[in-house]
Structure 1
């Protein structure tokens, strides 16, 4: 049975040196080389941040043009 009174799980958006994003649970230690770029926030907010950020990332733009 699910405890509906529990707070929703919060997440971070991490980014590595290549500009790749990762959704990460905020209650876990972040891996070395992956600093937080956004959050903690709800999962949907983090995914929206990644969507906005990835549309402005040069690698994504170049891959889309190929």
Structure 2
């Protein structure tokens, strides 16, 4: 991969995050979060916001079991 590729941060309905090249169409099931930039910049953002790696459905199920 080239270092000059711009990325965007995507999220799905399970609140899982992914980096995606800004020039590519967003794949089905994903939506942009509004964060764009270089790869490291986007990775740093994901590290800040994605603090619980469990899918949303699992988090909800586990909290209802309590």
**2:64 matched residue in structure 1:** none
Candidates 17, 21, 25, aligned match of 2:21? 25
Instruction: Evaluate the alpha carbon distance shift between residue 45 and residue 18 of structure 1 in structure 2; reply closer, same or farther with a 3 A threshold.
Output: same
Q: TM-score, normalised by structure 2?
A: 0.69
Q: Runs of 5+ in structure 1 lacking a partner?
A: 1-6
**2:30 matched residue in structure 1:** 34
Note the aligned Cα RMSD (angstroms).
Answer: 2.3
**1:50 matched residue in structure 2:** 46
- The CA deviation string for residues 23-49 of structure 1, in whole angstroms up to 9 with x for no partner, is 101010001220011332111110001
Q: TM-score, normalised by structure 1?
A: 0.69
Report the count of equivalent residues: 54
1:8-23 aligned at under 5 Å gives the runs 8-23=4-19
1:54-65 aligned at under 5 Å gives the runs 54-55=50-51, 57=52, 59=54
Question: Relative contact order (alpha carbons < 8 A, sep ≥ 6): 1 or 2 greater?
Answer: 2
Q: Runs of 5+ in structure 2 lacking a partner?
A: 60-66
